[in-house]
Amino acid sequence: MTIVHKAGNIHKNADGLSRWELPNTPDNPAYVPTSAEPQIPIEGINITDVGTEFFEEVRESYKQDKNCHILTALLDKYCKDKYFSSSLDDIWKTSYDNGRFHLFDGILYNRSKHTCVMVLCSRMFINTIPLEWHDKFYSGHLPEDRLMERIKKCAWWPYWRKNVIEYCHSCDRCQKANKYTGKRFGLIIHIQEPSTPWEVVHMDKVTALPPGGDKSYNECLVIVDRYSKTQIFLPCHKDDTAMDTALLI
């Protein structure tokens, strides 16, 4: 590849690549002082941190819950007593048998695939999470599926999915704005293939037509035979009732 410079007065299409580089001197209109520090405007700073008091309260809540207290003892002392672990509730015992619980710095964590989130047992903390991520003005009243996607990345507690669904269903604003008020869509029914002409027909109307004919027709009823694809076009009126359409056919 050969790069050849052509002056702007030759090819009449000069751009930044076809011009010679000018030195960064005060004579250059685009001169930038090298000693000047770049000025970046700061419009706002938001710093979020979880204090040590929060973790202390979580540790204290474990002492008030039977399952968390047993798990803390099992994971802290590496106790292999099956009788001790059998006193756990079913959902806790299933996760413990699958090796999902871990203890780090006195905090229980639940591991699921590639995520490891904190275990909560206090109703105060459990009720705070959907409140912050659903009801606050910066949350936007997320639907239950998107709210689950957020919660599963930060915390775990028994039957948390069921609690999230119940919380969203109890939200008055969501029931008024985020729910369909009409009937549910029905299932698609397959129409059996016809074996003879005019055994199965399809009908539809072409509307918003200009008035025409001696009776000022403004619609057209289209009848299509599914077997032979034959069409019949019948002029009609916009105000025709079901009886008028039946008599027309």
| Domain range enclosing 108 | 53-117
By three-state DSSP, how is residue 78 classified? coil
pLDDT of residue 210: 92
pTM for the whole structure? 0.52
Q: How far is CA 60 from CA 106, 109, 155, in A?
A: 10, 15, 17
Is pLDDT above 70 for 84? Answer: yes
Angle of the 123-130 helix axis to the 144-151 helix axis, nearest 10: 130
Residue 196 lies in a domain: no
Residue 71 maps to a domain:
yes
Residues 211 and 243 in one domain: yes
Give the pLDDT confidence of 234-244 residue by residue, as tens digits.
Answer: 999 999 999 99
pLDDT reported for residue 184: 73
Q: Where are the beta strands (DSSP E) in the chain?
A: 101-104, 107-112, 115-119, 155-156, 201-206, 219-225, 231-236
Cα–Cα distances in angstroms (integers) from residue 198 to residues 63, 117, 185, 192, 225, in the given order? 77, 64, 29, 13, 5
42 found inside a domain: no
Average pLDDT of 33-56?
67
Same domain, 220 and 237: yes
Return the pLDDT at 171. Answer: 86
Q: Which of 44-53, 126-135, 192-201 is predicted with the least confidence, judged by mean pLDDT?
A: 44-53
Determine, yes or no, domain membership for 26: no
Do the domain assignments include residue 211? yes
Which pLDDT belongs to residue 42? 63
Whether 169 maps to a domain, the answer reads yes
Is 69 part of a structural domain of the chain?
A: yes
Residue 179 has pLDDT above 70, yes or no: no
3 belongs to a structural domain? no
User: 182 pLDDT band (50/70/90 cuts)?
Assistant: low
211 and 244 co-located in one domain? yes
The pLDDT confidence band at residue 11, using thresholds 50, 70 and 90, is low
Going by pLDDT thresholds of 50, 70 and 90, the confidence category of residue 97 is confident
Q: What is the largest CA-CA distance in the chain?
A: 96
Per-residue pLDDT, 181: 61
Kindly state whether residues 151 and 113 are assigned to the same domain. no
Q: Flag whether pLDDT at 214 surpasses 80.
A: yes
| Pair 104, 133 in one domain | no
Total structural domains within the chain: 3
